[in-house]
Amino acid sequence: VGVAIANDASKILNDYGVRVKGLEDLSGLANRKFGGAPRKWSLGSLVEVLICKEVSV
């Protein structure tokens, strides 16, 4: 579960030879839930909308 996680799964496969199954990207779910124009979510933008907090890295 995450946001924009397909590349993360590919990296884990390439780096460690571990295949990740059962991925659930929350971007599509967020687009369906919030409606409007589909957008490409990041973890930070989703957190900001859901709990009104800014994620800093």
31 inside domain: yes
27 inside domain: yes
57 inside domain: no
Residue 3's pLDDT band, with cuts at 50, 70 and 90, is confident
d(CA 29, CA 32): 5
pLDDT at 51 over 70: yes
pLDDT digits (tens, 9 = 90+) for 7-45: 899 999 999 999 998 888 899 899 999 998 999 888 888
56 inside domain: no
Is the pTM here over 0.85, yes or no? no
35 inside domain: yes
Supply the pLDDT for residue 57: 67
**Structural domains in the chain (count):** 1
25 inside domain: yes
**Residue 24 belongs to what domain range?**
6-51
Q: Residue 36 to residues 25, 27, 32, 45, 56: CA-CA distances in angstroms?
A: 18, 13, 9, 15, 26
Supply the pLDDT for residue 32: 93
Identify which has the larger pLDDT, 57 or 52. 52
